[in-house]
Amino acid sequence: MDSSHLLYLLYGGNAVYRQEAKLSILSALRERRTPDSFTITLMTDEPQTFEGWPVTVIALSTELLTQWKGAYGYTHRRKACAIAAGAKLADKTIFVDTDTVFFKDPALLFERVSDQQYLMDEFEWEWAEAKLRADYVAFSDELIANGKAPADSLKLYNSGICGMTRANAGLLDKAIALIDEWNGHYAKLHTIEQIAVSFAMAGTNVVTANDCIHHYYSKKRYHHTMNQGFFEHHGERYHADLPTLAASVPVHFPKPSLLAKVKAQPRLIAVNKAFRPAAKLMIQGQKVATAEYLQP
């Protein structure tokens, strides 16, 4: 049987991101149907905060984290380096951003990973569209000037999930080389890391994972509040019931029913236009008021 592991990277000592990682791990454990179908590996500079958790912890030194940041100081280069190192530790590796939760068995995703196929979070856009975006123009112009522009059909993916086999671990070396080559664009393009991975995967078979996971990068404030409430109520020490208890944390941002939207319209119209987005959030927030750990 092939060895398979979920891989996480956590550093910086921020409780918010630690709680992200723990909720993500709990969701993976809760959805796992067969105990030995995969393991979980965590690379972190705060190993003591995961004592007792059912994960393999790899302690990261300050020196290594600095090295992974590279000569040009790009923070997200560390992620590519972590995947490059982690992909050599098992037959199949799926890297998971901490702001990701599973609502299906992660084992389903490992079935999609092979020597002939990579796994990514979700498709975002083709190069034909991306190169016209304001934040891509200077980058695209440089690629054209250097004769390195990709085909318009190149697909760009979100790398919140990134899965590959041990045999394909070298792909990350290509991505890291591109990250370093494109150092002049870090300030404008914060997603250089995932662009580099997509470029390195050009011409290969890539499938997506977003039918099994929710990557909540666009709703962080909401999820951080939910995560914090859960751990304030239950604590962060691991025990066998914690994965099931964590099911009370909403996986998706709650959306009101059509009837609720209709009923809310008169209230929203009466609100100053500038405050309507906040008013919508308040109405949607009422949907999760029944969560046990939110009760007074």
Tell me what the pLDDT averaged over the chain comes to.
Answer: 92
Q: pLDDT at position 285, please?
A: 56
Q: pLDDT at position 219, please?
A: 82
Q: pLDDT at position 282, please?
A: 67
CATH code of the domain occupying 4-215: 3.90.550.10
What is the tens place of the pLDDT at every residue in 83-116? 999 999 999 999 999 999 999 999 999 999 999 9
What is the tens place of the pLDDT at every residue in 131-181? 999 999 999 999 999 999 999 999 999 999 999 999 999 999 999 999 999
Query: Could you tell me if 162 and 113 are in contact, meaning their C-beta atoms sit under 8 angstroms apart?
Result: no
Residues 6+ apart with CB under 8 A from 199: 150, 154, 175, 178
pLDDT over 90 (residue 246): yes
Q: pLDDT at position 121, please?
A: 98
Over range 211-232, report the average pLDDT.
Answer: 91
pLDDT over 60 (residue 288): no
Assigned token pair, 36: 């030995």
pTM of the model: 0.88
Q: Distance between CA 152 and CA 127 in Å, rounded?
A: 5
Q: Where in the chain is the domain with CATH 3.90.550.10?
A: 4-215
- Quick one: pLDDT band at residue 270, thresholds 50, 70, 90? confident
pLDDT over 90 (residue 295): no
Q: pLDDT at position 171, please?
A: 97
Residue 118 Cα distances to 33, 94, 164, 242, 263, angstroms = 23, 10, 5, 32, 45
